[in-house]
Amino acid sequence: MTATLPAPSLKGQWIDDWRPEDRSFWERTGAAIARRNLIFSITSEHIGFSVWSLWSVLVLFLGPEYGIDPAGKFLLTAVPTLVGAALRIPYSFAVARFGGRNWTVFSASLLLVPAVLAAFLIRPGVDFSTLLIIAAVAGVGGGNFASSMTNINAYYPDRLKGWALGINAGGGNLGVAAVQLVGLFVLAVFGAGHPGIVAGIYIPLIVLAALGSALYMDNLTQARNEKHGMRDAVREPHTWVMSMLYIGTFGSFIGFGFAFGQVLQVQFADVFSTPVKAAYLTFLGPLLGSLIRPVGGALADRLGGARVTFYNFIAMAVGASIVLLAAQMRSLPLYIVGFIALFVFSGVGNGSTYKMIPAIFKRKHPGDDHEARRLSGAVIGIAGAIGAFGGVLVNLAFRQSFLTTKEADAAYLGFIAFYALCVLVTWAVYLRPATTRV
């Protein structure tokens, strides 16, 4: 019997009949609709990441005339990271409550607030508390990842979710590198006296993203928040183990992405005497970390997520050790090698840890695919929020280290110790012979 196809979806309307697991439906109707929604979801999420990361660039413009020391600048980058992390859980619920298209339009439009504030209010003489408020508002961009991933997850069949979510996440992560390239352009063309131009460039892009989402995205009536999913996930020990591991991977990626430019200017002030000199390098790490994220997922598919994550944390500890050694030797080339390694391996780890979560619950609930999906979906939401909080810890570690010792060595030692702890936890919970490997 031929499957009944749904009536053509009107743009911006609700789709009542959505059956991605039905191959006939998918090939004739679903794939094109899902692809269209994926494209505009990535666009809005990418700009959201750029706005979230805006202050990793803007602090490079805050010269002596602003009267802000390095510790204050690290606080300005930590605040939006914290707000974005906190918003990820409510944003993940919003898709089912309001519809994927509707929420994407709203969340994209909301990015205008931090962009407009930064474009017109940052100038010498502004007090630090005002800058903190503007930075905090930029945190709304951090929530877009959670709602975008939740939305796209509902569109794709299980056999294609890994690919779709990997493309969606990677496209969003590239927003960190993109805003740093915009900052480099502004510094090179207009100079350090015009920070507002960086945010101003994003204002028309935000409008176009919101308009595109309104015209070309859809809502799915079947998208729903699983009953008691979050409550049950909170009680699940694997939730907290995976959240810790995601702090080490995504927390490192976003934290270093926010902090890298500042650290270069402080640690190698003689080389990076102007913001534009630091900006030439700041985009490289986030770019490589974003591009390689799908590789981590692919390796996890082939070798096992826990195994990839285990060796990846060893590599991250080595990378942090290289950075520490280079800082003590004042070796800029070695320093850059170590930091690029941290970005690359944090990207690989982002992919492998996300792949571990559904594998864990599939093994824990064999034969009950619904229960496995219900719990893994909720755990991904929690781990994503807590992992983003790791970016706050990175910036606070740098801030405290510079406040206490005028150097970043204490922060690097802390990172090495944390990665070593992640190695031990991954082995003890998921790799030692007595455990079920994932």
> Average pLDDT of the chain?
89
Q: pLDDT: is 75 or 5 the higher one?
A: 75
Q: Distance (Å, rounded) from C-alpha 301 to C-alpha 322? A: 29
- Work out whether the CA dihedral 63, 69, 70, 73 comes out positive or negative: negative
pLDDT at 21: 85
pLDDT tens figures, 317-357: 999 999 999 999 999 999 999 999 999 999 999 888 988 88
pLDDT tens figures, 272-290: 877 888 888 888 889 999 8
pLDDT tens figures, 259-272: 888 888 888 888 88
Q: Distance (Å, rounded) from C-alpha 125 to C-alpha 143? A: 31
* pTM, two decimal places: 0.86
Q: Distance (Å, rounded) from C-alpha 384 to C-alpha 143? A: 10
Above 90 in pLDDT, residue 165? no
What is the arithmetic mean of pLDDT over 75-93?
92
Above 60 in pLDDT, residue 410? yes
What is the arithmetic mean of pLDDT over 116-144?
95
pLDDT at 1: 40
Which amino acid is present at 186? V
Write the CA distances from 310 to 170, 248, 255, 427, integer angstroms.
Answer: 22, 12, 21, 7
Exposed/middle/buried for residue 325 (C-beta within 10 Å: 0-12, 13-18, 19+): middle
pLDDT at 164: 83
